[in-house]
Amino acid sequence: MRAILLAGGQGTRLRPYTSLIPKPLVPIGNEHSILEVVIHQLAEAGFDHITICLNHLAQLIIAFIGDGARYGVRIDYCVEGEPLSTIGPLTLVSALPEDFLVMNGDILCDLNFGNFLLQHIENKNAVTVATFQRDSRIDFGVIERTENGTISGFIEKPVYHFEVSMGVYCINRAVIQALSKGKPYGFDTLMLDGIKNNLNYKAVLFDGFWLDIGRPEDYDYCNENYNEIKKKLHIR
């Protein structure tokens, strides 16, 4: 099984932590980098080939991670000449299998990646997106009004519920082959094009542990609660 990790971003939201090192190599719990944790998880889930898509500070990541021998998995790299967003880099990856896993390189979760890919294959989906429910609280009273200004409703500090993409998905090779090689193309455009063309895109709601380390507050939370997270992710 093959996984592709997207690790080419500049990590601007995580500054100053990422001023000198790329975001995927930022340490958690003073033990491992985020990228190492993900690689170990993928290896344990049965993935034997991992391709890491890079851009910003690519050579640092290549030098640190290497060919994957110490993780028990084959690792190679795809380096962008220019930023290609989230899906565009996949057009540069050689010898894609018919179906493969794609995930952001700064995601920590206890999703069973192997089962997720097998489910995608069994259901013959073009794209399968892992989703998570996030709640957003508005810390104000929300006024609803008509066009002429008449107040028609009021909600005190409402909480809205959203099903968001986790940054983990499975893709059929035909989806990538239909794209222009080496051109910027984002996950948002992939979703909108799939909806417009009525393609077989499915979402799978996940109710386990998920944390995106892209924001300073989430990175701090990870380090403050590392011992608990370490158990959830079976980090050695």
Strands of 55-200, DSSP E: 74-79, 99-104, 107-109, 127-137, 141-145, 151-156, 159-172
pLDDT band per the 50, 70, 90 thresholds, residue 215: confident
- Which residue carries 């391709």 as its tokens? 51
**Cβ neighbourhood burial of 19 (10 Å; 0-12, 13-18, 19+):** exposed
CATH of the domain spanning 2-134+166-232: 3.90.550.10
How many Å is the maximal CA-CA distance in the chain? 68
CA angle 75, 76, 79 (to 5 degrees): 140
Buried b / exposed e over 29-64, threshold 16 CB at 10 Å, is: eeebbbbbbbbbbbbebebebbbbbbbbbbeebbee
* DSSP assignments along 122-164, one per residue: HTT-SEEEEEEEEEEE--SEEEEE-TTS-EEEEEES-EEEEEE
Position 77 pLDDT exceeds 80: yes
Please, which residues bridge with residue 101 across strands? 3, 170
CA angle 213, 108, 184 (to 5 degrees): 65
Domain ranges of the chain: 2-134+166-232
Position 17 pLDDT exceeds 70: no
Summarize pLDDT for 5-14 with one digit per residue, the tens. Answer: 998 765 555 5
* Tokens of residue 2, six digits: 């093959």
Lowest mean pLDDT among 136-145, 147-156, 164-173, 211-220: 211-220
Q: State pTM to two decimals.
A: 0.89
Q: Which residues contact 19 (CB under 8 A, 6 or more apart)?
A: none
The pLDDT, as a whole number, for residue 25 is 85
Average pLDDT of the chain to the nearest whole number:
91
pLDDT band per the 50, 70, 90 thresholds, residue 216: confident
